[in-house]
Structure 1
Amino acid sequence: MLSANTKMYAIELVESGPQLELVKAEHVMPEPGDNELLVAIEYVALNHLDAKLARDGFEQWEYPHILGLDAVGTVVKAAKGVFPAKGSRVVFNVCLSQQGMLREYAVIPNHSVSEIPDSVGSETAVTLPNAGMAALLAIEKLQIQQGDTLAINSAQGAVAHFAIQYAKMRGAQVFAFAQKSHHRRLLSLGADFVFDCEQNNICEQVKREVGNGGFDCVLNTQGGASFLQDLQRLRFCGRIVCLNGFGEIPERLLFEKAPNIGVVSVAGAWLANSLCAQQRLCFMGQQLLNDVASGKVKSPEVSLIDFDVSAVRDVLSRLLTQTCQQRPVIKIPHQVD
């Protein structure tokens, strides 16, 4: 049963900006409607996207805004016949335009959650949704087949962690671009070759490994100018997907490469108000959980962070400037009788 207390706490962003102004605020306990679940939030994983948006804002946000897109919790209230039932552990990714999960309780649509197997810990499950779903969508859009060569730029990030493993399952040869400190981890995930992205002779290294033809597929994680660099590494009629958008592509390069271009957006399932896409996120969440439970996929290492304004601000600041070797996960206290 829920505690008799009808109040809860959340950590809010007062307004967007580089100062990352956060406060802890008291809120009224939410009440679930039809086909909704009241979830006691236990863990929230923070992404680079959370940090970027805390700094830059999002046009649909109202302030103060609660951050946090990936969460795990226990269902504490659900209408009769609504699945998952009370007591179930669930993991989910929430709508980017709405209030996030850095709070003790939240109301979640029941079609958007994935039930966590007993063999998967909650702190592990919370690292899977946003990054894992983006990786699955990217691998599908790239139509990776046995023998394809796949290049991943900024491969030290969370999406690449999963993309490397799923690409190898499909028989691809994976080439990762990352700082030297990440090379051992990426090789342990299955990358066939890791380029030091801070070296000046990357072009020569690439030609030495794959020849002049270029890669069959490219996963671009940064967007912007890096997309054009990756496009130049693509073979003629190759396939490239981008996670963060890109600017104008020179006409000469388009004709030279004739690329098949795709964009990956996990948030699009919510922003487009597509029920089918939201349910698909649920199915992908279940796939990620099952693959981790079976040992097919390695989850990222976790660093647990207190539900504290200063601690959360420090994590967001670090995410703006570096790739964390361990995934920052906020442990949220709550009372369930």
Structure 2
Amino acid sequence: MSDTDISPQYTLPQTMRAIVLPEPNEKICLADVEYAVPECADNELLIKVEYVGLNPVDGLFAKSGFCKWQYPHILGLDAVGVVVKAGKGVFPGVGTRVMWHASIGDQGALSEYTKVANYAVSVVPAELAGDMAATLPCAGMAALISLDKINITEGDTVLIDGGAGAVGQFAIQFAKQRGADVFTTAAKRNHKLVKQLGADVVFAYQDKDLCEKIRRELGPQGFDAVIDTVGGASTIRNIELMRFCGRIACLNPLPHFEQELMYRRAPNIGVVSLGGAWLANSLCAQQRLSFMGNLLIEGALSGDIKTPEITAVDFNAQAVSAALHKQLDGGFTGKQVVKIST
């Protein structure tokens, strides 16, 4: 008797279509290839992929590469699909639609089939559209981890730098739910959007008098906390805008800090790394991805959380390359989602 369940709805092929990065390159030149359908270990699910959500990190690493990758490498970290093969008794079972944030060190999800550990996925109910679910993992989970890092409580003042980006949009909503007074930066064309999401005060991020205007609005005390989605010089500026011993969650590599600034502000710096759950081989952290996914799905279903506007992307190398360039060019406020199959 077989110790594996296979969906009767599918005849599993030997090969599949995939989009790969032949090697890191500035132009993000990708290739359409045929790969063998992956083999799964005991606790892994074979998924027929339906949608893949694109993120800025996909574009950044397509250009620079990642230390754990072997090439050609399949891109794509956020995905939704249906379980078509699973070990006997493994949950979730065959036929279940699931959502997950994939391991950054392994092959990604831009393929017709992929595998993922069963304990890292979240079940997607039929009431939630698959493409909408694909917008949730990376941005939503990063927002939740950021808020935990800065320990937001009712009445705190928090600056969310880059509020119109996908992480910023989720962070604004979750911060308001926790009772914070939310300040954010965004391009002027996006001020209405972030206000609708709950931001109390919005500043134009390109304003040369930004710091002066923030201090005028906030007063001399500084922010209790900051979610820094931008990085670089913005991180240094944001620490200057914090109160003494304030908290900051950083989603990008840290810049060089002058010693005087560190002594004067004594910031509590938290680094946000979804990929760390996999790279540290932490089963607890990987399971937490599933728990956060459940929370995001619940919020999207109830309407408590508004998801970013979706732009559909075709499943071919040229279209995905153009989409990744669009992610990195700046000014993009929604989520690009590749439709693999339905």
TM-score range normalised by the length of the shorter chain: over 0.9
**Which runs of no fewer than 5 residues in structure 2 stay unpaired?**
1-7
- For residue 144 of structure 2, what is the aligned residue in structure 1? 136
- For residue 271 of structure 1, what is the aligned residue in structure 2? 279
Give the total of aligned pairs.
334
Question: How far 1:289 moved relative to its partner?
Answer: 0.4
- For residue 116 of structure 2, what is the aligned residue in structure 1? 108
Take 1:57 and 1:106, find their aligned partners in 2: how far apart are those partners? 21
**Counterpart code for 2:306:** K
Take 2:123 and 2:55, find their aligned partners in 1: how far apart are those partners? 22
Residues 52-131 of structure 1 aligned to structure 2 (within 5 Å): 52-131=60-139
SS of structure 2 residue aligned to 1:15: coil
Of 146, 152, 161, the match for 2:160: 152
- For residue 28 of structure 1, what is the aligned residue in structure 2? 36
Residues 175-190 of structure 1 aligned to structure 2 (within 5 Å): 175-190=183-198
Question: How far 1:33 moved relative to its partner?
Answer: 2.2
**Which runs of no fewer than 5 residues in structure 1 stay unpaired?**
none
Take 1:254 and 1:22, find their aligned partners in 2: how far apart are those partners? 42
Take 1:326 and 1:133, find their aligned partners in 2: how far apart are those partners? 16
Take 1:242 and 1:214, find their aligned partners in 2: how far apart are those partners? 18
Take 1:47 and 1:212, find their aligned partners in 2: how far apart are those partners? 36
- For residue 242 of structure 1, what is the aligned residue in structure 2? 250
SS of structure 1 residue aligned to 2:323: helix
> Contact 1:20–1:313 (CA<8 Å) still a contact in 2?
yes
- For residue 46 of structure 1, what is the aligned residue in structure 2? 54
> Contact 1:72–1:122 (CA<8 Å) still a contact in 2?
yes
- For residue 18 of structure 1, what is the aligned residue in structure 2? 26
SS of structure 1 residue aligned to 2:208: coil
Take 1:194 and 1:312, find their aligned partners in 2: how far apart are those partners? 32
Take 1:76 and 1:272, find their aligned partners in 2: how far apart are those partners? 28
Question: How far 1:4 moved relative to its partner?
Answer: 5.1
> Contact 1:136–1:166 (CA<8 Å) still a contact in 2?
yes
Take 2:177 and 2:170, find their aligned partners in 1: how far apart are those partners? 11
SS of structure 2 residue aligned to 1:51: helix
**Counterpart code for 2:45:** L
> Contact 2:165–2:334 (CA<8 Å) still a contact in 1?
no
> Contact 1:225–1:246 (CA<8 Å) still a contact in 2?
no
SS of structure 2 residue aligned to 1:21: coil
Take 1:107 and 1:67, find their aligned partners in 2: how far apart are those partners? 14
Paired-residue identity, %:
48
Question: How far 1:270 moved relative to its partner?
Answer: 0.4
- For residue 3 of structure 2, what is the aligned residue in structure 1? none
